[in-house]
Amino acid sequence: MLPAENGGSDATQDALNSAPLTGTFCREFLLTNQNPDGGWGYHPTSPSGVEATAWALLGLMSGGRVWLPSQPCDRACDWLLHAQLGDGAWPAFPGQPQGCWTTSLASWALQAHGGSVQAVERGLHWVLNAWPAEGTLWWRLRQAVGRSAVVRQDSSLRGWSWTPGTASWVEPTAYALLLLRNLPAEMLTSQMKKRRRLAERMLYNRMCPSGGWNSGNPLVYGVAGVPRVGPTSWALLALIDHAERAENRISLDWLEQTFGEIRGAASLALAHRCLTAYGRQAPPLAPMLGSLYARNRFFENTLAVAWAALALSVNENRSSETSSGALTS
């Protein structure tokens, strides 16, 4: 089959037909698509989920307090509070019995919004006691007889898993670290600081040999893993307090070199935010996002829109009073 002649327009044409995207546009999108229950789904009209709601709330707050409409944010906070489980965790969706990585995001969003101190503390307590499954005796036995020669990683360095009973991965570890980083200093206990240091070491251990991170293992069968934009951006944002480290620098170099090849709005927004957070130069984001929006409307993905709002807000509203996190600080 040959490509359809009229199937899709060229990127250049899309760019010509599109206007630069603004943070205000993204926030209006989020406001328009808030569900009646106060949460957000991954797409407009989808059932509300914890991750989408947390990011939408952070995205809305990126506009600063002058812009911030309090009622939608308050409703979002209420939705999150109702979705919290008895043990302090948040599931992916209400009705699911088990907490997961979304706990870091929900705690972070509530913390950024202010208030809900008790809910944040309960979420934080769950996060700090959520240990990934590797490093246990069972895991070490498996490693000893199986994959230890195949996968290179130090399993004594543990971060956070996506779901309970599974291994540490880059992104959930980064989310938890970003939550800890955004807590007021007085909330940070020595246990939290210790856990944070361990997770940071885990992230550095999982870095691809040539810099950057992926969603898998950095080295399998002796072959170096290929870094990906999303995990690299999250890891770098989580490790921003170590900006001077060589690992950060080579990973940023990789991200900078890769930036022009990014074809998705979510990755583009994340990478741009990451580069600017480190003071690196990046091409103007608004026209690039405008072009992508003209093509696919971001597939109406709430996360992509929220991340775009966060990234765009840096240039539009440097004096933001909100504390929507390390993504903007």
Q: Where do contacts with another protein occur on this chain (CB under 8 A)?
A: 1-4, 6-8, 41-43, 46-47, 49, 51, 92-93, 96, 100-101, 133, 150, 161-163, 165-167, 169, 171-172, 214-216, 220-221, 223, 225-226, 228-230, 261-267, 292, 295-301, 303-304
DSSP string of 16-50?
HH-PPP-HHHHHHHHHHT--TTS-B-SSTTSPPBH
> What is the closest distance, in whole angstroms, from the C-beta atom of residue 129 to another protein in the complex?
19
Please give the Cα distance from 297 to 294 (Å, whole number): 6
- Alpha helices in the chain, H assignment, sequence order: 11-17, 23-32, 50-61, 70-83, 102-113, 117-129, 137-145, 170-181, 190-205, 229-238, 246-258, 265-277, 285-296, 302-316
* Nearer of residues 32 and 190 to another protein, judged by Cβ: 32
* Nearer of residues 302 and 322 to another protein, judged by Cβ: 302
The set of residues, in sequence order, having a beta carbon less than 8 Å from that of 16 and lying 6+ positions away, is none
Q: What is the CA radius of gyration of the chain?
A: 20
* Nearer of residues 55 and 63 to another protein, judged by Cβ: 55
> What is the closest distance, in whole angstroms, from the C-beta atom of residue 302 to another protein in the complex?
8
> What is the closest distance, in whole angstroms, from the C-beta atom of residue 56 to another protein in the complex?
13
> What is the closest distance, in whole angstroms, from the C-beta atom of residue 271 to another protein in the complex?
10
Alpha-carbon distances, residue 316 vs 21, 277, 322 (angstroms): 11, 14, 14
The set of residues, in sequence order, having a beta carbon less than 8 Å from that of 324 and lying 6+ positions away, is 58, 61, 62, 112, 310
* Nearer of residues 116 and 291 to another protein, judged by Cβ: 291
* Nearer of residues 57 and 208 to another protein, judged by Cβ: 208
> What is the closest distance, in whole angstroms, from the C-beta atom of residue 135 to another protein in the complex?
14
* Nearer of residues 278 and 298 to another protein, judged by Cβ: 298
**25 is written with which tokens?**
């546009």
Please give the Cα distance from 215 to 269 (Å, whole number): 18
Please give the Cα distance from 211 to 112 (Å, whole number): 31
> What is the closest distance, in whole angstroms, from the C-beta atom of residue 36 to another protein in the complex?
16
> What is the closest distance, in whole angstroms, from the C-beta atom of residue 179 to another protein in the complex?
17
> What is the closest distance, in whole angstroms, from the C-beta atom of residue 106 to another protein in the complex?
14
* Nearer of residues 186 and 221 to another protein, judged by Cβ: 221
CB 151 within 8 A of CB 173: no
Query: Phi and psi at residue 134, in whole multiples of 5°?
Result: -75, 155
* Nearer of residues 251 and 291 to another protein, judged by Cβ: 291
